[in-house]
Amino acid sequence: MQTIRAMADLGVALRHLRGPSATLALVPTMGALHDGHLALIDEAKRRADRVAATIFVNPLQFNDPKDLERYPRQEEADLARLEAAGCDLVWLPTPDQLYPPGFATNISVRGVSERWEGEHRPGHFDGVATVVAKLLLAVRPDLAIFGEKDWQQLAVIRRVEADLGLGVAILGHPTVREADGLAMSSRNALLTADERRRAVALPEAMSEAARRILRGGEVSAALHEAQRQLRAAGFSEVDYLALVDGDSLEPLERQGENMRMLAAARLGKVRLIDNIAVTS
Ligand code: PAF
Protein backbone atom coordinates (compact mmCIF):
# COMPACT_ATOMS: atom_id res chain seq x y z
CA MET A 1 0.00 0.00 0.00
CA GLN A 2 1.31 3.39 -0.93
CA THR A 3 1.04 6.14 1.69
CA ILE A 4 0.83 9.68 0.34
CA ARG A 5 1.09 12.73 2.52
CA ALA A 6 1.90 15.61 0.15
CA MET A 7 -0.88 16.59 -2.24
CA ALA A 8 1.87 17.25 -4.81
CA ASP A 9 2.64 13.50 -4.88
CA LEU A 10 -0.95 12.42 -5.31
CA GLY A 11 -1.38 12.92 -9.06
CA VAL A 12 1.63 10.81 -10.09
CA ALA A 13 0.75 8.08 -7.57
CA LEU A 14 -2.82 7.88 -8.85
CA ARG A 15 -1.74 7.81 -12.51
CA HIS A 16 0.66 4.98 -11.70
CA LEU A 17 -2.01 3.12 -9.71
CA ARG A 18 -4.69 3.37 -12.37
CA GLY A 19 -2.50 2.75 -15.41
CA PRO A 20 -4.34 3.02 -18.72
CA SER A 21 -7.68 1.55 -17.70
CA ALA A 22 -8.08 0.45 -14.05
CA THR A 23 -11.18 1.69 -12.24
CA LEU A 24 -10.71 3.34 -8.87
CA ALA A 25 -12.92 3.41 -5.77
CA LEU A 26 -12.38 5.91 -2.96
CA VAL A 27 -13.24 5.40 0.72
CA PRO A 28 -12.98 8.76 2.54
CA THR A 29 -12.53 8.41 6.32
CA MET A 30 -11.54 10.39 9.38
CA GLY A 31 -9.44 7.50 10.69
CA ALA A 32 -10.00 5.63 13.99
CA LEU A 33 -10.93 2.79 11.69
CA HIS A 34 -13.22 -0.04 12.79
CA ASP A 35 -14.79 -3.03 11.05
CA GLY A 36 -17.43 -0.77 9.52
CA HIS A 37 -14.71 1.08 7.58
CA LEU A 38 -13.11 -2.21 6.57
CA ALA A 39 -16.47 -3.34 5.16
CA LEU A 40 -16.35 -0.22 2.96
CA ILE A 41 -12.87 -1.20 1.74
CA ASP A 42 -14.12 -4.75 0.98
CA GLU A 43 -17.07 -3.35 -0.94
CA ALA A 44 -14.72 -0.99 -2.82
CA LYS A 45 -12.54 -3.96 -3.79
CA ARG A 46 -15.57 -5.79 -5.16
CA ARG A 47 -16.61 -2.74 -7.19
CA ALA A 48 -13.34 -1.44 -8.63
CA ASP A 49 -9.89 -2.59 -9.77
CA ARG A 50 -8.04 -0.31 -7.34
CA VAL A 51 -8.95 1.10 -3.94
CA ALA A 52 -7.80 4.35 -2.35
CA ALA A 53 -8.70 5.68 1.10
CA THR A 54 -8.23 9.04 2.74
CA ILE A 55 -7.66 9.73 6.42
CA PHE A 56 -8.39 13.33 7.36
CA VAL A 57 -9.98 14.61 10.56
CA ASN A 58 -11.74 17.51 8.90
CA PRO A 59 -11.79 20.55 11.20
CA LEU A 60 -14.48 22.25 9.07
CA GLN A 61 -17.14 19.72 10.03
CA PHE A 62 -16.71 19.98 13.82
CA ASN A 63 -19.01 22.63 15.22
CA ASP A 64 -17.70 21.90 18.72
CA PRO A 65 -13.92 22.42 19.17
CA LYS A 66 -13.91 19.99 22.14
CA ASP A 67 -15.35 17.27 19.88
CA LEU A 68 -12.53 17.87 17.39
CA GLU A 69 -9.94 17.69 20.17
CA ARG A 70 -11.45 14.49 21.59
CA TYR A 71 -11.83 12.75 18.22
CA PRO A 72 -9.82 9.49 18.41
CA ARG A 73 -6.59 9.43 16.37
CA GLN A 74 -4.61 6.23 15.76
CA GLU A 75 -2.72 6.65 12.51
CA GLU A 76 -0.32 3.73 12.82
CA ALA A 77 -3.07 1.22 13.60
CA ASP A 78 -5.24 2.67 10.80
CA LEU A 79 -2.47 2.27 8.21
CA ALA A 80 -1.89 -1.33 9.30
CA ARG A 81 -5.62 -2.12 9.05
CA LEU A 82 -5.92 -0.54 5.59
CA GLU A 83 -2.90 -2.43 4.34
CA ALA A 84 -4.20 -5.74 5.72
CA ALA A 85 -7.58 -5.05 4.10
CA GLY A 86 -5.93 -4.72 0.69
CA CYS A 87 -6.23 -0.97 0.18
CA ASP A 88 -3.82 0.14 -2.59
CA LEU A 89 -3.23 3.76 -1.64
CA VAL A 90 -3.93 5.98 1.33
CA TRP A 91 -3.75 9.76 1.28
CA LEU A 92 -3.37 11.65 4.56
CA PRO A 93 -3.69 15.32 3.70
CA THR A 94 -2.96 18.01 6.28
CA PRO A 95 -5.43 20.86 6.89
CA ASP A 96 -3.15 23.40 5.18
CA GLN A 97 -3.09 21.28 1.99
CA LEU A 98 -6.86 21.10 1.75
CA TYR A 99 -7.48 24.59 3.12
CA PRO A 100 -4.62 26.81 1.97
CA PRO A 101 -4.19 30.30 3.49
CA GLY A 102 -7.10 32.50 2.52
CA PHE A 103 -9.40 29.51 1.88
CA ALA A 104 -12.85 31.06 1.55
CA THR A 105 -15.01 28.62 -0.39
CA ASN A 106 -17.91 26.89 1.27
CA ILE A 107 -20.26 24.33 -0.22
CA SER A 108 -23.63 24.60 1.40
CA VAL A 109 -26.51 22.26 0.55
CA ARG A 110 -30.10 23.40 1.10
CA GLY A 111 -32.99 20.99 1.77
CA VAL A 112 -31.64 17.60 2.88
CA SER A 113 -28.99 19.15 5.13
CA GLU A 114 -31.30 21.48 7.05
CA ARG A 115 -33.06 19.29 9.58
CA TRP A 116 -31.77 16.75 12.14
CA GLU A 117 -27.94 16.82 12.26
CA GLY A 118 -28.00 20.10 10.33
CA GLU A 119 -30.14 21.72 13.00
CA HIS A 120 -28.14 20.37 15.93
CA ARG A 121 -24.67 20.82 14.43
CA PRO A 122 -24.70 24.16 12.60
CA GLY A 123 -22.09 24.23 9.83
CA HIS A 124 -21.41 20.49 10.05
CA PHE A 125 -22.77 19.59 6.63
CA ASP A 126 -21.09 22.60 4.97
CA GLY A 127 -17.83 21.14 6.29
CA VAL A 128 -18.68 17.65 5.06
CA ALA A 129 -19.85 18.86 1.63
CA THR A 130 -16.77 21.06 1.17
CA VAL A 131 -14.22 18.42 2.16
CA VAL A 132 -15.88 15.60 0.23
CA ALA A 133 -16.02 17.76 -2.92
CA LYS A 134 -12.32 18.59 -2.45
CA LEU A 135 -11.36 14.94 -1.92
CA LEU A 136 -13.37 13.76 -4.94
CA LEU A 137 -11.86 16.49 -7.13
CA ALA A 138 -8.32 15.68 -6.00
CA VAL A 139 -8.62 11.88 -6.37
CA ARG A 140 -11.16 11.73 -9.24
CA PRO A 141 -12.32 8.16 -8.49
CA ASP A 142 -14.97 6.34 -10.52
CA LEU A 143 -16.92 5.71 -7.36
CA ALA A 144 -16.85 6.59 -3.68
CA ILE A 145 -18.34 4.56 -0.83
CA PHE A 146 -19.82 5.92 2.42
CA GLY A 147 -21.46 4.15 5.35
CA GLU A 148 -25.24 4.35 5.67
CA LYS A 149 -24.78 4.92 9.39
CA ASP A 150 -24.54 8.63 8.48
CA TRP A 151 -27.73 8.47 6.41
CA GLN A 152 -28.20 12.24 6.19
CA GLN A 153 -24.53 12.75 5.29
CA LEU A 154 -24.98 10.28 2.42
CA ALA A 155 -28.02 12.25 1.17
CA VAL A 156 -26.01 15.50 1.35
CA ILE A 157 -23.06 13.96 -0.53
CA ARG A 158 -25.35 12.58 -3.26
CA ARG A 159 -26.80 16.09 -3.66
CA VAL A 160 -23.33 17.68 -3.91
CA GLU A 161 -22.19 15.15 -6.50
CA ALA A 162 -25.33 15.60 -8.61
CA ASP A 163 -25.39 19.38 -8.34
CA LEU A 164 -21.69 19.90 -9.10
CA GLY A 165 -21.64 17.18 -11.76
CA LEU A 166 -18.55 15.54 -10.29
CA GLY A 167 -19.02 12.35 -12.31
CA VAL A 168 -18.42 10.03 -9.35
CA ALA A 169 -20.88 7.25 -8.49
CA ILE A 170 -21.80 7.63 -4.79
CA LEU A 171 -22.57 4.33 -3.08
CA GLY A 172 -23.93 3.72 0.40
CA HIS A 173 -23.00 0.62 2.39
CA PRO A 174 -25.26 -0.83 5.13
CA THR A 175 -24.34 -0.01 8.72
CA VAL A 176 -22.10 -2.58 10.37
CA ARG A 177 -23.16 -3.38 13.95
CA GLU A 178 -21.54 -4.86 17.02
CA ALA A 179 -22.87 -8.26 18.21
CA ASP A 180 -25.37 -6.51 20.53
CA GLY A 181 -26.69 -4.25 17.73
CA LEU A 182 -24.85 -0.98 18.47
CA ALA A 183 -23.81 0.67 15.20
CA MET A 184 -20.03 0.71 14.82
CA SER A 185 -18.63 4.22 15.18
CA SER A 186 -15.25 5.73 15.98
CA ARG A 187 -17.01 7.56 18.81
CA ASN A 188 -17.91 4.28 20.58
CA ALA A 189 -14.29 4.17 21.78
CA LEU A 190 -15.04 7.27 23.89
CA LEU A 191 -17.78 5.53 25.91
CA THR A 192 -16.98 4.26 29.41
CA ALA A 193 -17.59 0.53 30.00
CA ASP A 194 -20.89 1.35 31.73
CA GLU A 195 -22.00 3.70 28.93
CA ARG A 196 -21.05 1.10 26.34
CA ARG A 197 -23.41 -1.40 28.03
CA ARG A 198 -26.22 1.16 28.06
CA ALA A 199 -25.61 2.34 24.47
CA VAL A 200 -27.42 -0.67 23.01
CA ALA A 201 -30.66 0.92 24.19
CA LEU A 202 -30.44 3.21 21.14
CA PRO A 203 -30.85 0.54 18.41
CA GLU A 204 -33.20 -1.43 20.69
CA ALA A 205 -35.55 1.51 21.28
CA MET A 206 -35.52 2.36 17.57
CA SER A 207 -36.29 -1.21 16.51
CA GLU A 208 -39.11 -1.45 18.99
CA ALA A 209 -40.60 1.85 17.76
CA ALA A 210 -40.29 0.60 14.17
CA ARG A 211 -42.16 -2.61 15.07
CA ARG A 212 -44.94 -0.62 16.77
CA ILE A 213 -45.33 1.63 13.73
CA LEU A 214 -45.39 -1.33 11.33
CA ARG A 215 -48.08 -2.97 13.49
CA GLY A 216 -50.18 0.16 12.90
CA GLY A 217 -49.35 2.04 16.10
CA GLU A 218 -49.46 5.83 16.12
CA VAL A 219 -46.10 7.24 14.98
CA SER A 220 -45.87 9.97 17.62
CA ALA A 221 -46.72 7.52 20.45
CA ALA A 222 -44.08 5.02 19.23
CA LEU A 223 -41.41 7.73 19.04
CA HIS A 224 -42.40 9.11 22.41
CA GLU A 225 -42.07 5.69 24.03
CA ALA A 226 -38.64 5.18 22.41
CA GLN A 227 -37.45 8.50 23.86
CA ARG A 228 -38.70 7.44 27.27
CA GLN A 229 -36.75 4.18 26.98
CA LEU A 230 -33.58 6.07 26.06
CA ARG A 231 -33.87 8.36 29.07
CA ALA A 232 -34.55 5.35 31.30
CA ALA A 233 -31.35 3.75 29.95
CA GLY A 234 -29.32 6.80 30.95
CA PHE A 235 -29.24 8.93 27.79
CA SER A 236 -29.25 12.53 28.98
CA GLU A 237 -30.55 14.25 25.85
CA VAL A 238 -32.34 13.00 22.79
CA ASP A 239 -31.64 15.54 20.05
CA TYR A 240 -34.10 13.87 17.71
CA LEU A 241 -35.81 10.55 17.14
CA ALA A 242 -37.90 10.79 14.01
CA LEU A 243 -39.63 8.84 11.29
CA VAL A 244 -38.70 10.36 7.92
CA ASP A 245 -38.91 9.76 4.22
CA GLY A 246 -35.61 8.03 3.37
CA ASP A 247 -34.88 10.32 0.40
CA SER A 248 -36.20 13.77 1.29
CA LEU A 249 -35.62 13.29 5.06
CA GLU A 250 -38.88 15.13 5.67
CA PRO A 251 -40.72 13.91 8.81
CA LEU A 252 -43.58 11.43 8.43
CA GLU A 253 -46.54 11.56 10.80
CA ARG A 254 -47.94 8.28 9.51
CA GLN A 255 -46.64 5.28 7.59
CA GLY A 256 -45.17 6.06 4.16
CA GLU A 257 -43.54 4.22 1.26
CA ASN A 258 -39.88 4.69 2.12
CA MET A 259 -39.60 5.00 5.88
CA ARG A 260 -36.37 5.55 7.78
CA MET A 261 -35.97 6.21 11.47
CA LEU A 262 -33.21 8.62 12.48
CA ALA A 263 -31.93 9.29 15.98
CA ALA A 264 -29.25 11.23 17.83
CA ALA A 265 -28.85 11.10 21.58
CA ARG A 266 -26.22 11.88 24.16
CA LEU A 267 -24.78 9.34 26.59
CA GLY A 268 -22.34 10.98 29.01
CA LYS A 269 -20.02 13.08 26.87
CA VAL A 270 -20.64 11.09 23.70
CA ARG A 271 -23.27 11.89 21.10
CA LEU A 272 -24.42 8.77 19.24
CA ILE A 273 -26.38 8.71 16.00
CA ASP A 274 -28.12 5.82 14.29
CA ASN A 275 -30.75 5.10 11.67
CA ILE A 276 -32.72 2.07 10.53
CA ALA A 277 -34.99 1.21 7.63
CA VAL A 278 -38.58 0.80 8.77
CA THR A 279 -39.80 -2.12 6.66
CA SER A 280 -41.65 -5.31 7.36
O1 PAF B 1 -18.04 10.05 7.57
C2 PAF B 1 -16.90 10.52 7.72
O3 PAF B 1 -15.98 9.86 8.20
C4 PAF B 1 -16.64 11.95 7.31
O5 PAF B 1 -17.74 12.75 7.54
C6 PAF B 1 -16.15 12.09 5.85
C7 PAF B 1 -17.22 11.62 4.87
C8 PAF B 1 -14.88 11.28 5.65
C9 PAF B 1 -15.85 13.55 5.53
O10 PAF B 1 -14.89 14.07 6.39
pLDDT for 46-75, tens place per residue? 999 999 999 999 999 999 999 999 999 999
- Model pLDDT for residues 18-35, shown as the tens digit of each residue: 999 999 999 999 999 999
Tell me the helices (H) and strands (E) count for the chain, helix number first.
Answer: 11, 9
Q: Which atom of ligand 1 is nearest to the CA of 56?
A: 10
Atom 1 of ligand 1 has which residue's CA nearest to it? 29
CA 162 to chain centre: 18
Average pLDDT on 239-260 reads: 97
Q: What percent of the chain has pLDDT over 90?
A: 99
Distance 13 CA to ligand 1 centre (A): 23
Distance 234 CA to ligand 1 centre (A): 28
- Model pLDDT for residues 111-146, shown as the tens digit of each residue: 999 999 999 999 999 999 999 999 999 999 999 999
Atom 9 of ligand 1 has which residue's CA nearest to it? 128
Strand partners, 263: 241, 274
Question: How high is the pLDDT of residue 280?
Answer: 86
Atom 6 of ligand 1 has which residue's CA nearest to it? 29
Question: How high is the pLDDT of residue 101?
Answer: 97
Average pLDDT over the chain, rounded to whole?
A: 97
Average pLDDT on 76-82 reads: 98
Q: How confident is the model at residue 76 (pLDDT cuts 50, 70, 90)?
A: very high
Average pLDDT on 92-110 reads: 97
pLDDT surpasses 90 at 211? yes
Ligand 1 site, CB within 6 A? 28-30, 58, 61, 128, 131-132, 146, 150, 153
Domains of the chain: 2-173 (3.40.50.620), 186-275 (3.30.1300.10)
Side-chain half-sphere of 136: how many Cα atoms within 13 Å?
23
- The phi and psi torsions of 233 (rounded to 5 degrees) equal -85, -5
pLDDT surpasses 90 at 178? yes
Average pLDDT on 146-164 reads: 98
Q: Which atom of ligand 1 is nearest to the CA of 147?
A: 1
What is the DSSP annotation of 48-114?
A: -SEEEEEE---GGG-SSHHHHHHS---HHHHHHHHHHHT--EEE---HHHHS-TT--------STTT
